[in-house]
Chain A
Amino acid sequence: MNGGKTPFDKLGVTKEELIQIRNRIAGSSTLLISPEEALQEYSNKLDQLIRRAFQLAQAQESVGSVCLIAVGGYGREELAPYSDIDLLLLHSSSRDEELSPFIERVLYPLWDLGLEVSCSSRSIHECLKMAQSDLYIKTSLIDRRYLDGEYELFRNLNDPFSKKILYRNIKPFAESLKQELHLRHKKYEDPHYTLEPNVKEGIGGLRDFQMGRWLIRVRDETDRWDSILFPDLSRRLEKSVRFLWTIRIQLHLLSQRKQEDFTFELQEKIAPLLGFPDGTKGIEKMMRQYHLSAQRIASFAQDLLNHILREPSAFRKTFLFFRRKRIDENFEIAFGEIRLLHPMALKRDPTQLMTLFQYCQSYKVLMDFRLEEAILEALPFLDDRFRTSEKVNQIFLSLLRRGETLGLLLRKMHDLGILSRFIPEFSEIEGLVHYDLYHIHPVDLHSILAVEELEKLKNGFYEKEYPLLTTLMKRLEKQEILFLTALLHDIGKGREEDHSLIGSVLGKRIARRMGLSKEEQEWIGFLIQHHLLMLEVAFRRNLHDEQVILRFAKQIKEVHRLKMLYLLTFSDIRAVGPEAWTPWKNSLLMELFLKTSHLLEKDPLGELSSQFSSLPQTSEYLEYLPLRYLSSYPPEEVAHHIEMARSIETHPLKVEWVIDQGTRGKLTICTKDQYGLFSKITGCMFLNRINILEARIHTWDNGIALDTFWVEDLTREIERRLEGFKKDLHRVLVEKIPLNDLISKREEPARLTPKVIPKVKKEVKINNEDSDFYTLIEVIGEDRMGILYEITRTLTDYGCNIHFAKVSTLGNQIIDTFYVQDEWGEKITDRFKIDHLKKALLHQMS
């Protein structure tokens, strides 16, 4: 001490030196050296400082017998560089006023060094009284450590604290810890804390671990928490805790304050310090390790709590002893828990493990602590034989099929490491994270959450909010396939290749191993490969465009697959995080689902696409060809149509025909689509007295109209009439001569009085239900020359754009169906307009 000029060097250390000491911890706290040593070293340094401050104060101020005690984290010698330092000044009687100048003398020089020190002063009696009611004081006293002063006082506190308070009754203690944990976790449930976790207080943070330690201390009266755990488990837990500490120390040092949130900024800085690779990959790797560690710590604390709280009282134990229930030769249920009858049973026959989960599901019981240890011991025996065992797989699938407490069971399997032994591919996605804001949960957890979302649908949890999805899930056949797909949908993540594609291959492989049928394997492969398709189409494409829906339907092919994909998409988005799923996305997905299912239920499109993909010459045009068109013609004809379509690039109109039996002909017309085209064609037929028996008109997506007509001319002059028709159509379409001019020029041929034949009833039906994109107009009436021209002209006059028509004649009756849209490409929904159109059409037919 150099004269004590300034308070800073009173203790022989300057602020800068203290920072240097802290930074030395940084150097040693990479993954190379265990952080415990660094922590201890720092704590020792502080001990020296604080003792000196205490002794200086004692020299200046006389107080009676006092004792300085380190409590909390400092008491454990686990002090992060900028953590609060908690001290307790124990005194023999209550003389608070006398003590405060003394405490100030101790604290001021420490505060001047920038240390966050707080010191409370209590008598032994006060300590005991407060510890009874205050959880925080109680837990901080568990970790008390003598620093300086009257040792007798410290000893006098020990005995009554242990006997009267600590070891008295573990249940209320566990209960209040559980409440504390619950409140604390609630605060960190917010998904942002999953991305930027709180190392100390967050879920699976260091506080959780500490809580577990306190519980062991109280229950087993030992500080050696690792001694009561299964060695493998304690080793992994120790590694996890060490990793969190390493990060916490870095957080403090880099921020130079008590920083416990592991923010993006600090993730970027810390990853290279801990030797992770550069860039996003390294951060993702580090965060993966973080999540795996936190998961382990969280389940350690949670399991301990559960077991302590579920332990029945001695009285109840005797009572329940008589209510033990033996399930089979290996398991019994006692005290509401399932237990193993023979410790070796699982090792002898590992398949019993899956049976055990089946019992957990059907009896709705949890596992005994010792049983979990037995499982851990049996893990190495879960080999290929286990994975391919028919019995094991059948039971696993039956768990899924039953679908109750599924999330819980899968989480347990995951926590105990069974899931990744049973499905080794799953270990690749454990703890895997994306360094972005959207993907909140690590992939393994996300996958289990997706299963849980489906389970909630099945249980009717979303009945009010999402009635359609609920109904679909409840009525879905083979639910186990969907559950399994949800569990595996991201199995391809974390690799270089497209995760949907590789995931599909892996998914099929797993399904095969589980002994699923060929068809079920294909379903799983298909769903995984396309698990992003539905949301891409729903959010990025125009759902009012029929081609969009048709193309989507063509990929899906079956209603059953559509339903599964819809449900999978829902569960996938919901499992991303609470903010990912919005009513907005819900409406778009529902719209896509409904439109596609209408389409698939009306005409199954399955065989079409495969039939036409074999046509090489159609490939460049195939995307333009509407399915309705493709379903109307055989492939050879499609190929020919495409040739015609190519030729109209030079000649704007192509008309071809084939004569059959001298009076009938099949006519093919190809041209660029224009408004009222159909009406113009039928007008020119009318001009040349050609009777239309049947017509199919189609418009391709690239604006080419391809129409086929079956026509008749009973005068056997069909060839000449068709030539005339071709010339007239050229005049109207290419030379743009108004059709009306041509019609008025032709004289009306003399007509015989028509023969009296049975009257045909007239009917016009306009329906908006059968198609999501078109208004269907059905016209039934008596056939006569030119009727089609008149109907189509009326439709055109009323602003109807005819996209597709089917015209047929039965005797003297015509039945024509037109698929139309208005000028805006929408269905005709205005009642007033519909009524007018109906009247006009009926009028035309009389």
Chain B
Amino acid sequence: MKKIEAIIKPFKLDEVKNALTKIGVQGMTITEVKGFGRQRGHTEVYRGTEYKIDFLPKVKIELVTADEMVSQVVENLERVARTGKIGDGKIFVSSVEEVIRIRTGERGKDAL
């Protein structure tokens, strides 16, 4: 099993969610996050006063999926979340050792 974490632009969330549900992703966790990468924050000026925007708002999607699904999920994420501009975000894939569904105690793939 793999955990996929993707940081994407906020307005892409609906599209990404639809694309992932379509290919059979059962569930995901969404978090509103802020941060910066190469696309630094910036300063906005309004009527001579500066308002600093240090961190840029993004959305983090986390999901755990069976190994055979990983490439399909990543491919969809990449395709849908891309605008071709700076700040499109990143996808991280990492291994997951165990998954347990708390209610039933099921483990491994069954618990996904």
Return B66 CB to nearest CB of chain A, in Å. Answer: 30
Tally of contacts, chain A with chain B, CB under 8 A: 53
Q: In the assembled complex, how far is the CB of residue B106 from the closest CB belonging to chain A, in whole angstroms? A: 23
Interface window among B18-26, B47-55, B68-76, B90-98: B47-55
Report chain B residues within 8 Å CB of A539: 10-11
Q: A588 to B57, Cβ gap below 8 A?
A: yes
Shortest C-beta distance, A549 to chain B (Å), equals 13
B9 at the interface (CB under 8 A from A): yes
Interchain CB contact under 8 A, B51 and A468: yes
- B99 proximal to A (CB < 8 A): no
Given A542-B83, A597-B46, verify A584-B57 contact (CB < 8 Å).
Answer: yes
Least Cβ–Cβ distance between B60 and chain A, in angstroms: 11
Distance between Cα atoms of A590 and B57 in the complex (Å): 11
Is B84 positioned at the interface, with any CB of A under 8 Å from its CB? yes
Whether A594 lies near B10 (C-beta < 8 A) is no
Partner of B86, one of A594, A769, A824: A824
Q: Is the CB of A582 within 8 A of B84?
A: no
- Number of residues from B at the complex interface, CB < 8 A: 21
CB distance from A163 to the nearest CB of B (A): 58
Question: Does any Cβ of A come within 8 Å of B103's Cβ?
Answer: no
Is residue A587 within 8 Å, beta carbon to beta carbon, of the partner chain? yes
Which residues of A lie under 8 Å from residue B55 when comparing CB positions? 587
In the complex, A425 has a CB within 8 A of chain B:
no
A111 → chain B, closest Cβ, in Å? 33
Question: With contacts A539-B11, A583-B34 known, is A824 near B51, CB below 8 A?
Answer: no
Which residues of B are found within 8 Å of A542, using beta-carbon distances?
A: 9, 11, 83
Interchain CB contact under 8 A, B46 and A540: no
Asked if A468 and B86 make an inter-chain contact with CB atoms under 8 angstroms apart, the answer reads no
Q: Are B84 and A584 within 8 A (Cβ)?
A: no
Q: CB distance A825 to B57 under 8 Å?
A: no
A488 to B95, CA, bound (A): 52
A592 shortest CB reach to chain B, Å: 11
Q: Is A826 an interface residue (CB 8 A)?
A: yes
**Given A468-B46, A540-B14, A594-B46, also A587-B57 (CB < 8 A):** yes
Query: Chain A contact residues: over half helix, strand or loop, or mixed?
Result: helix
* B33 x A826 contact (CB < 8 A): no
Contact B46 A582 (CB under 8 A): no
B56 at the interface (CB under 8 A from A): yes
- Whether a CB of chain A sits under 8 angstroms from the CB of B110 is no
Question: A163-204 interface mask toward B, CB cutoff 8 Å, 1 = contact, 0 = none?
Answer: 000000000000000000000000000000000000000000
Are the C-beta atoms of B32 and A582 separated by less than 8 Å? yes
The A-contacting residues of B in range 29-59, CB under 8 angstroms, are: 32-34, 44-46, 49, 51, 53, 55-57
A463 CB–B CB distance under 8 Å: no
A544 at the interface (CB under 8 A from B): yes
> With A and B bound together, what is the CA distance between A543 and B44 in angstroms?
14
**B85, A467: Cβ atoms under 8 Å?**
no
Supposing A584-B33, A587-B34, A591-B44 touch, asked if A826 and B86 sit within 8 A by C-beta, the answer is: yes
Q: With A471-B49, A539-B11 in contact, is A594–B44 under 8 Å at CB? A: yes
CA distance A584 to B32 in the complex (A): 6
Interface pair A826/B85, CB less than 8 Å apart: yes
Q: When chains A and B are docked, how far (Å) is the Cα of A824 from the Cα of B49?
A: 29
Residue A512 interfacial (CB < 8 Å): no
**B85 cross-chain contacts in A, Cβ below 8 A:** 544, 824-826
A825 and B84 contacting across the interface, CB-CB below 8 Å: yes
Residues of B within 8 A of A594 (CB): 44, 46, 51
CB distance from B9 to the nearest CB of A (A): 7
Q: Would you call A585 an interface residue if the criterion is a C-beta within 8 Å of the partner chain's C-beta atoms?
A: yes
Interface residues of A in 812-846 (CB under 8 A from B): 824-826
User: Residue A324 at the B interface, CB < 8 A?
Assistant: no
- Residues of B with C-beta under 8 A to A588: 10, 57
Chain B neighbourhood of A769, CB < 8 A: 45
Instruction: Please report the C-alpha to C-alpha distance between residue A762 and residue B57 in the assembled complex, in whole angstroms.
Output: 42
Given the complex of chains A and B, what is the CA–CA distance between A645 and B88 in angstroms?
Answer: 33
- Residues on A with C-beta less than 8 A from B45 are 769
CB contacts (< 8 Å) of A585 on chain B: these are 32, 57
Q: Is A541 an interface residue (CB 8 A)?
A: yes
Cβ contacts under 8 Å, B44 to chain A: 590-591, 594
| Complex Cα gap A651–B10 (Å) | 40
A-chain residues with CB within 8 Å of residue B14 when the two chains form the complex:
540
Chain B positions near chain A (C-beta within 8 angstroms): 9-11, 14, 32-34, 44-46, 49, 51, 53, 55-57, 83-87
Q: What are 29 A-B contacts with C-beta separation under 8 Å?
A: A467-B49, A467-B51, A468-B49, A468-B51, A540-B10, A540-B11, A540-B14, A542-B11, A543-B11, A544-B83, A544-B85, A544-B87, A582-B32, A584-B10, A584-B34, A587-B53, A587-B55, A587-B56, A588-B10, A588-B57, A590-B53, A591-B44, A591-B53, A594-B46, A594-B51, A769-B45, A824-B86, A825-B85, A826-B86
The 5 tightest CB contacts between A and B, nearest first, are: A584-B32, A584-B57, A587-B57, A594-B44, A542-B11
Given contacts A541-B11, A826-B86, 15 further A-B contacts (CB under 8 A): A468-B46, A539-B11, A542-B11, A544-B83, A544-B87, A584-B32, A585-B57, A587-B56, A590-B44, A594-B44, A594-B46, A769-B45, A824-B86, A825-B83, A825-B84
